[in-house]
Amino acid sequence: MRKQAMEIVQQEKVGKDIYRLTLAGGLAAVPGQFVQVGVSSTADPLLKRPFSIHYCNGSRLVLLYQVTGRGTNLLAAKKEGEILEVTGPLGRGFPLPEEGRAVVVAGGMGAAPLYYLLHALKSAGRDVTFLYGARTAAALVLQEQYRSLVRHYAAATDDGSFGRQGPVTELLQEELSRRPGVVFACGPEPMLRGAAAIAAGFNSRCFVSLEARMACGVGACLGCVIPGADGRYRRVCADGPVFAAEEVFPA
């Protein structure tokens, strides 16, 4: 965990308002961890922005992000050669299963950290299904890259413009009824709750990656808490962002 100045090697537009940013410099992280990225050299906007690690290795760090506000707008305007301040890796990532099948479920931009997870699962020789959901076909970015990493692949869109029409959790329901597996999910909270409930119905373990507004990103400020299933607060940045579903969603 450290603060580094990293140079932008590539800033590619990969979808509507979605960019893939490649930074020079190594980072030793596990899938599901995140970094905090400085989007401005001045006091406004003040806070660094949290982004999951889309991919990293000893010499580069890749982020996949969507422009949704002021900070991400500034980030998208940055050019190759510019320097960003990056703190990380932060948080707890996905626990890699010792054995067995894995079902990885993405909702929209929730796909970002799962790419690195799929890499790790592939290296570990796991049998993996990737279920990729989004509002519409255009939001299913980088499909080929995801598909190339897994044995089973299916997509769903809310508007039916690609793959199954409906929530990606319907694909999960079918997948688990076909073959069991540990579930890893990232996406909007209702989708995560849905996935957790379905996994519970099959007695499958389920790990979800959550989001919260953060200040420090390291566990010091207690700003990013969410209530756990036991009613006690968890820090998303330091106790998560990946949690066992039963820790954060009441049964």
Ligand X SMILES: Cc1cc2nc3c(=O)[nH]c(=O)nc-3n(C[C@H](O)[C@H](O)[C@H](O)COP(=O)(O)O)c2cc1C
Q: Which residues bind ligand X (CB under 6 A)?
A: 221, 223
CB-wise, 42 or 203, nearer to a second copy? 42
Residues 82 and 160: beta-carbon distance below 8 Å: no
Residue 44 interacting partner from ligand FES, a second copy, ligand X, none (CB closer than 5 to 8 Å by kind): a second copy
CB-wise, 137 or 225, nearer to another protein? 225
> According to CB under 6 A, which one of 10, 222, 233, 250 is a site residue for ligand FES?
222
Site for a second copy in 49-88 (CB under 8 A): 70, 74, 79
> Residue 58, exposed/middle/buried by CB under 10 A (0-12, 13-18, 19+)?
exposed
Site for ligand FAD in 56-85 (CB under 6 A): 64-66, 68-72
> According to CB under 6 A, which one of 21, 62, 214, 216 is a site residue for ligand FAD?
214
Residues 133 and 111: beta-carbon distance below 8 Å: no
Site for ligand FAD in 93-132 (CB under 6 A): 109, 112
Interaxial angle between packed helices 189-201 and 168-178, expressed in degrees from 0 to 180 and rounded to the nearest 10: 20
CB-wise, 1 or 83, nearer to a second copy? 83
Does 223 help bind another protein (rule: CB under 8 A)?
yes
CB-wise, 52 or 204, nearer to ligand FAD? 52
Strand order in the sheet with 83-90: 49-52, 34-37, 83-90, 2-15, 18-24, 60-66, 55-56
CB-wise, 181 or 217, nearer to another protein? 217
Q: What is the DSSP string of 78-116?
A: --TT-EEEEEEEESB-PPPPSSS-EEEEEEGGGHHHHHH
Residues 183 and 206: beta-carbon distance below 8 Å: yes
Q: Which residues bind a second copy (CB under 8 A)?
A: 40-45, 70, 74, 79
Q: Which residues bind ligand FAD (CB under 6 A)?
A: 34, 45, 47, 49-52, 64-66, 68-72, 109, 112, 211-214, 241
